[in-house]
Structure 1
Amino acid sequence: MESSNKSTIKQALNEKSGFQIWWRLLRPHTLTASFVPVFVGTMLALIDHGINIFLFLAMLLASMLIQSATNMFNEYYDFARGLDNEESVGIGGTIVRDGVSPKTVLRLALTFFGIAILLGVYICIESSWWIAIIGLVCMLFGYLYTGGPLPIAYTPLGEIFSGFLMGTVIIGISYFIQTQTLTSTVIWVSIPIAIFIGAIMMSNNIRDLDGDKENGRKTIAILIGRKNAVRCLALLFTVAFALTTVYIILGMLPIWSVIALLGIFKAIDVVKKFQGKSQPIEMLPAMVATGKTNTIYGFLLGISLLISNFI
């Protein structure tokens, strides 16, 4: 019976064997949360100062490695605490459905952290050693998100921590390593990105609300209920796009940045995909669409900054 359940879930999620086992472990639909901040922060630096392409690539790879490792820690510790099983949706399923050793997942996460540290050393040599402190703090919180005695993901602070650290902080670092300074405009522009990244976490928590509640989590979605959480998600999207419009009007962003507002259509799609749904597998498309909203907005915002640099 257990083998049958695994097979059914794998078919429903279109999970395949081979390389895809390890690809799913990275949770690729969430990696936009590491690419977008580095891209936007670097494009802001391009306008104000110019950029070192090797620093950009090192920062991008380090950020994606740290997020991937964080996803692996999530996979490992949720399994260790008995939260994940073969019917869990939204995880890589590497341990519970594919039979990969939990220790292998943990070692891989630590390896990714190690490579990120080496990249961080290069970044520090080329910019400032203060970056080492900030980077280590980010890695610590990446571990504490699901590891440690009181995982952040189990509290109402998950969205705030993920949005601030992966949005505002990463954009700030990406800008600083190129310019050796930081401006208030960079901080303000980072807020919509931070909101979208927090929205990815909220979408995940809306989808997993029932299972998380049974396991003692206290996420925002659990505290205010699924319907209110979806409304809150819609409000977050509205605030992010409204702020972008204000920034364009005030001249903090170039007029070209209006193209980033095209992300509104995907944000509306997210809300529609959540409405009337109660089963995790039914809400998976909404979760994926939330990541795409961040991708569309962030990529177009970065492109608009790139265009404005040459026109």
Structure 2
Amino acid sequence: MNRQSTQAGKPSAKKDWQVWWQLLRPHTLTASFVPVLIGTALALPVTRIHIPLFAAMLIASILIQAATNMFNEYFDFKRGLDNEESVGIGGTIVRHGVSPRTVMTIAISFCAVAVLLGVYISMESSWWLAAIGSVCILVGYLYTGGPLPIAYTPLGEVVSGLFMGLGIILIAFFIQTGTVTVESVLISIPFAILIGAIMMSNNIRDREGDAENGRKTLAVLMGHSRAVRFLAGMFVVSYLWIIVLVLTEEASPWLLLVFLSAPQAIRAVRGFRGRLRNTEMMPAMILTAKVNTLFGLLLAAGLLLEYLARSI
């Protein structure tokens, strides 16, 4: 048990179930299941939905995201980056005395279950997905693990957007339809950008601490003001992308429902402006995650309404 252990090595201050729940970082898990909903909604006009495959994909995505969060918790602790005052962490190690080994064991167990689900998905669709799924798990580990963690470089936003946004949507679509279409790729892109926006907001919040610890995130390289403008640009591009798809008839006007999330995006950007302390920026970071969730759910709802409208 580590030096933060409490009485008899058991977590304190919170009930046990709350500590383990916090370890999952539940507020981040929407970024794993919302793209599955989008990919499945995209498949509705093409084929009848295979419910067991949908469920397996949903659970596997959540498990990999939760495991990635635990790898983050473990390696940031091992590198001395987390302490009791750290903002935006699960805190199970530094605040509640959970052993780092326990956190790593749970993360590996989650990955093992995700692999088993991946085997079932591959048996029902294509074994190519076994290789793709293995890469996704590896990237989840390398995001904060390994000699040069992805999260410590300017590539964090790009990698997270590609794998958690574009990748999950297209896999969810492929396992139902057996193919990937131009439409599925085009509709995936704005959501992928907003996944990257979550990472960007996190890095803006942690910019000063990251710089002190030698991280070279995009926010560190840009500085606060330019990083906030870049985040605003990510929001703008995501919404404009949907407008262009509708105007070019690549997507239904139902997808304009995503604009109901735009006020939250505006509030998120305003929440970062003029604020430099990470505690002051926490509400803006939470709003950015909410934008991603709401945008994604509205996108899936628009796809569903388009399908229903055509079916009548």
- When normalised by structure 2's length, the TM-score is 0.93
From 61, 84, 102, the counterpart of 1:63: 61
Instruction: Please name the residue that 2:241 is paired with.
Output: 243
Q: Deviations over 1:55-106 (max 9, x none)?
A: 1111011001001000000000000000111110000011001111000000
Q: Helix, strand or coil for the counterpart of 1:47?
A: coil
Letter in 1 for 2:181: T
Letter in 2 for 1:190: S
Instruction: Please name the residue that 1:32 is paired with.
Output: 30
Instruction: Please name the residue that 1:303 is paired with.
Output: 301
Answering whether residue 39 of structure 2 is matched by residue 41 of structure 1, we say: yes
From 213, 216, 236, the counterpart of 2:214: 216
Question: 2: CA distance between counterparts of 1:188 and 1:305?
Answer: 13
Q: Helix, strand or coil for the counterpart of 1:291?
A: helix
Question: 2: CA distance between counterparts of 1:50 and 1:223?
Answer: 47
Question: 1: CA distance between counterparts of 2:210 and 2:257?
Answer: 37
Mapping of residues 183-262 of structure 1, within 5 Å: 183-262=181-260
Question: 2: CA distance between counterparts of 1:253 and 1:57?
Answer: 26
Instruction: Please name the residue that 2:263 is paired with.
Output: 265
Q: Helix, strand or coil for the counterpart of 2:240?
A: helix
Q: Gaps (5+ residues) in structure 2? A: 5-12
Question: 2: CA distance between counterparts of 1:65 and 1:78?
Answer: 20
Q: Helix, strand or coil for the counterpart of 2:44?
A: helix
Letter in 2 for 1:96: V
Question: 2: CA distance between counterparts of 1:122 and 1:202?
Answer: 34
Q: Helix, strand or coil for the counterpart of 1:114?
A: helix
Task: Give the 3 Å change call, closer, same or farther, for CA 276–152 of structure 1 in structure 2.
Answer: same
Question: 1: CA distance between counterparts of 2:84 and 2:254?
Answer: 46
Q: Helix, strand or coil for the counterpart of 2:89?
A: coil
Question: 2: CA distance between counterparts of 1:226 and 1:193?
Answer: 24
Instruction: Please name the residue that 1:154 is paired with.
Output: 152
Question: 2: CA distance between counterparts of 1:229 and 1:111?
Answer: 36
- Cα deviation for residue 16 of structure 1 reads 4.0
Q: Helix, strand or coil for the counterpart of 1:51?
A: coil
Q: Deviations over 1:204-259 (max 9, x none)?
A: 10001111111100000000101110110000000000001111122222111111
- Cα deviation for residue 269 of structure 1 reads 1.0
Question: 2: CA distance between counterparts of 1:215 and 1:98?
Answer: 24
Runs of 4+ in structure 1 deviating by more than 4 angstroms, as ranges, are none
Letter in 2 for 1:163: G
Question: 2: CA distance between counterparts of 1:163 and 1:50?
Answer: 28
Q: Gaps (5+ residues) in structure 1? A: 1-5, 7-14
Letter in 2 for 1:228: R
Superposition RMSD in Å: 1.2
Q: Helix, strand or coil for the counterpart of 1:128?
A: coil
Instruction: Please name the residue that 2:8 is paired with.
Output: none
From 20, 23, 28, the counterpart of 1:22: 20
From 86, 89, 92, the counterpart of 2:90: 92
Instruction: Please name the residue that 2:7 is paired with.
Output: none
Question: 1: CA distance between counterparts of 2:169 and 2:267?
Answer: 27
From 278, 281, 292, the counterpart of 2:279: 281
Contact 1:47 1:305 survives alignment (8 Å): no
Question: 2: CA distance between counterparts of 1:258 and 1:60?
Answer: 25
Answering whether residue 118 of structure 2 is matched by residue 114 of structure 1, we say: no
